[in-house]
Amino acid sequence: MKPIRKLAFVVNEEKPGALELGRTLMGVARRTGIRLKFTARFPLPPGYLQGFDACCVIGGDGTLLGVAREASRARVPIIGVNRGSLGFLTTFSADEARAHFSELLAGAYQVDHRLMLDCSTGPGLHDLALNDVLIKDANTSRLVHLEVFADQELVTDYSCDGLIFSTPTGSTAYNLSAGGPLIHPGASVVAMTPICPHTLSNRSIIFRQGIKLRVYNRSENARLLVAMDGQRNLKVGVGSPIRIAVSRHTLPLAQRLDYSHFAVVRTKLKWSGASIETPKAH
């Protein structure tokens, strides 16, 4: 990749060691003559990343999710350095960042473009999600009655605690906790997973990338909550369907040249299986 000459830093000061690590990495960048920008506030305001080559996010996956919308719109790759817990998105460890930051700034990284979801709940009510869109009752944990259409075809009616619409990237988040499938990030699909459905045969459904999904609230006297990446909520217009589709925007995510998705999954989910050399084909 091209060397990074203009770099924005977003640091979650609440994460132990994040600010100190940010100062260290900014020192490395300054010594190579890189133009810097720093903030500890996120989500980012519109236009914050315009004109920058990359954005280094130091924190947890939640910190990165707070930057994802702006980075996708500005087409600026995110370098995620983990100072949180799991770190599925912030794939660089603190030690890796300290040891290899100069090489990374010189272009020793690859960019993976992650699918995002576009959600609309009415006129002027619109947002993007990198992980998932959650639909549930706005005030309580009671059952909701939701009707789902894929393009013009009825899928089914759900009586459940809610529905999760997940990207492949978000398949390791709420979707996985609700019993949904793990999906490789390179797959161009959307997963719909019901939360505690009353019909036991209701299971996750995988939709193709070009699908146009609509969800109608058929619950009596219930308002819906639509949560984007677990961080932002959309109001639902009265009688308006919730529309979900794959966005034209993708998130550019910077990764090590030797990045392995399944190595990350094995580590984070504590799967068994040692990393061994791939057998050569005969």
Domains of the chain and any CATH numbers: 6-109+256-268 (3.40.50.10330), 116-248 (2.60.200.30)
CA-to-CA distance for 276 and 281, rounded, in angstroms? 15
Q: Is 6 exposed, middle or buried (0-12, 13-18, 19+ CB in 10 A)?
A: middle
Active site residues: 61
Which run of H or E residues covers position 7?
strand 6-11
Q: What is the pLDDT along the chain (282 residues), one digit of tens a residue?
A: 999 999 999 999 999 999 999 999 999 999 999 999 999 998 898 999 999 999 999 999 999 999 999 999 999 999 999 997 778 899 899 999 999 999 999 999 999 999 999 999 998 899 999 999 999 999 888 899 999 999 999 999 999 999 999 999 999 999 999 999 999 999 999 999 999 999 988 999 999 999 999 999 999 888 899 999 999 999 887 778 999 999 999 999 999 999 888 888 888 888 876 555 555 554
Contacts for 26 with CB less than 8 Å, ≥ 6 apart: 9, 36, 38
Name the nearest CA neighbour of 16 among 94, 88, 80, 91.
94
Beta bridge partners of 254: 79, 111
Q: Structure tokens of 210?
A: 């070009």
Instruction: Give pLDDT tens digits for 161-212.
Output: 999 999 999 999 999 999 999 999 999 999 999 999 999 889 999 999 999 9
Instruction: Give pLDDT tens digits for 137-165.
Output: 998 888 999 999 999 999 999 999 999 99
